[in-house]
Amino acid sequence: MYAVETVDLSRVFELKGKSILALDDVNIRISKGEILGLLGANGAGKTTLVKILSTLLLPSKGSAYIHGYDVVKYAKDVRRMINLVSGGETPGYGMLTVRENLWFFSQLYGLSSSLARERIDMLIKAMELEQYKDVRMHRLSTGYKQRLNLARGFINDPKVLFLDEPTLGLDVVNAKHMRKYMRDWVDSDRARTILLTTHYLAEAEEVCDKIAIIYKGRIVAYETPSALKASLNNGVSIKVEILSNDHTPTTTSSSSDNRSRMVEKISRSSGVLACMLEPLGNGENGYDDDMGKHEKSSHSNGRYDSNSNNDDSSSSSSNGLTRLRIMLDDDSKIPDLVSTLVLNGYKVLSVKKDQPTLEDVYMRYVGMKDNGMG
């Protein structure tokens, strides 16, 4: 029996007379003791899936099970086994203290007084909230409210925990602490399971046993991180730095439009699987490439978003300098690509082959779809 299983799960929303397919025949199976990372852009269907599994929403078609219990027919049984943390939210009552808020939720789960006290103490310590345990919630900073939110998620020691972008809004240190906590939590009892939705590829790579990429409501890839990267064996990932020959001053929006057109044009070139703008590194825009992919949540490049191809103007171009990350089906296509860039008025400063990353995997599966190739 799987901890979480969905069978042809679909969900349609009716909005102003229009039908929007949020989930389309989703099939996932998460074993006990596993952390599954669900990657996808905004609106891909991640939260919809979590809502169905956590009994907040009914599916339009298909079925979903938590430890064998149907989330529609046996919602009450499912609720005994689950909890949910949504990042960016701070649920709780401002006039209650940290301890009182946790107490309130512990009682809704029917914990005995002694067990509730013990678990609250443990979570307050784990989330480093000791100093604030008797402080009213409305006096806490956003970061501490987030920690309280996370503590609430663990209060009933759920068998299946849904973490919907849990590190959203957390600083680097807190996010790292949180990731370690969730990994340790699962590893300490292999009956526990986490479904983690995230925009942060590095976060998924760091803590997840398996990764599912969801795109427009469909699961387009579902494997272990290493297997996903290995699936790119036939592909080549390159970083290209180019300089626009036309240095006439342009407005931010027209410059962004030009780059979008360029990305679109490259994406349509022969042998190109995907193309996206890369953030510029230190000394150019003030933050580091690798860090920017996961920890710098406040920066647009810290979040993986399919739209980032088009509107990441501030982070990917400076004084005409643009960095691209391109997936090719074969490295023999590199000279053709360089020719295309030169013919389109760009000066190619460097071309560098790179090791495949999870980002490339994402690009390949989602980028291909965006290019109409999937």
The contact set with other proteins (CB under 8 A) reads 13, 51, 54-58, 76, 79-80, 82-84, 89-96, 100, 104-105, 107-110, 152, 156
Q: Give the containing element (helix H, strand E) for 132.
A: none
Q: How far apart are the C-alpha atoms of 313 and 277, rounded to whole Å?
A: 9
Q: How far apart are the C-alpha atoms of 346 and 78, rounded to whole Å?
A: 57
Q: How far is the CB of 244 from other proteins (least distance, A)?
A: 43
Q: How far apart are the C-alpha atoms of 71 and 59, rounded to whole Å?
A: 9
Of 68 and 94, which has the nearer Cβ to other proteins?
A: 94
Q: How far is the CB of 110 from other proteins (least distance, A)?
A: 3
Q: How far is the CB of 130 from other proteins (least distance, A)?
A: 22
Of 80 and 239, which has the nearer Cβ to other proteins?
A: 80
Of 16 and 352, which has the nearer Cβ to other proteins?
A: 16
Q: How far is the CB of 54 from other proteins (least distance, A)?
A: 5
Q: How far is the CB of 374 from other proteins (least distance, A)?
A: 28
Q: How far apart are the C-alpha atoms of 209 and 287, rounded to whole Å?
A: 29
The β-bridge relationship of strands 82-86 and 160-164 is parallel
The β-bridge relationship of strands 321-328 and 236-244 is antiparallel
Angle, in degrees to the nearest 10, between helices 98-108 and 142-153? 20
Of 108 and 349, which has the nearer Cβ to other proteins?
A: 108
Q: How far is the CB of 190 from other proteins (least distance, A)?
A: 24
Of 25 and 100, which has the nearer Cβ to other proteins?
A: 100
DSSP 280: P
Of 17 and 249, which has the nearer Cβ to other proteins?
A: 17
Helix (H, G, I), strand (E, B) or coil at 117: helix
**Main-chain phi, psi angles of 76, to 5 degrees:** -65, -40
Q: How far is the CB of 78 from other proteins (least distance, A)?
A: 9
The pair of structure tokens assigned to 304 is 């993986």
The most distant pair of C-alpha atoms in the chain lies apart, rounded to whole Å, by 73
- The answer to whether the beta carbons of residues 203 and 179 sit under 8 Å apart is yes
The pair of structure tokens assigned to 267 is 């994406």
Q: Is 332 exposed, middle or buried (0-12, 13-18, 19+ CB in 10 A)?
A: exposed
Of 84 and 276, which has the nearer Cβ to other proteins?
A: 84
